[in-house]
Amino acid sequence: MKELERVRWRCRRGLLELDIVLGRFVQQRYPVMDDEQRAAFDELLDLPDTELWDLITGKKELAHAHQGVVLEWLKDV
């Protein structure tokens, strides 16, 4: 449970749009993700808000291919 609380806290962002997308994502997908996918999601959460939003909206290309699956899931939320 502590892990889920930590991730929810990290999903609190300065952009309302990101708060909504990340909150839904954690609720729907995080419980079924494997360790590798969770690590990739953590890396995405390390990005600044605008950069993460640009990735989700397709304005920017993904730099690390191993994050691709998680990013596609974020786009579907």
Residue 23 CB neighbours (<10 A): 15
The predicted pLDDT at position 77 comes to: 87
Q: What's this model's pTM, rounded to 2 decimal places?
A: 0.89
DSSP secondary structure letter of residue 58: T
Q: How far is CA 76 from the centre of its chain?
A: 11
Q: What does residue 56 show for φ and ψ, rounded to 5 degrees?
A: -65, -40
What confidence category does residue 63 fall into, taking pLDDT thresholds of 50, 70 and 90?
A: confident
**pLDDT higher than 80, residue 1:** no
The string of pLDDT tens digits covering residues 7-42 is 999 999 999 999 999 999 999 999 999 999 999 999
Q: Which domains does the chain have, with CATH numbers?
A: 2-76 (1.10.150.250)
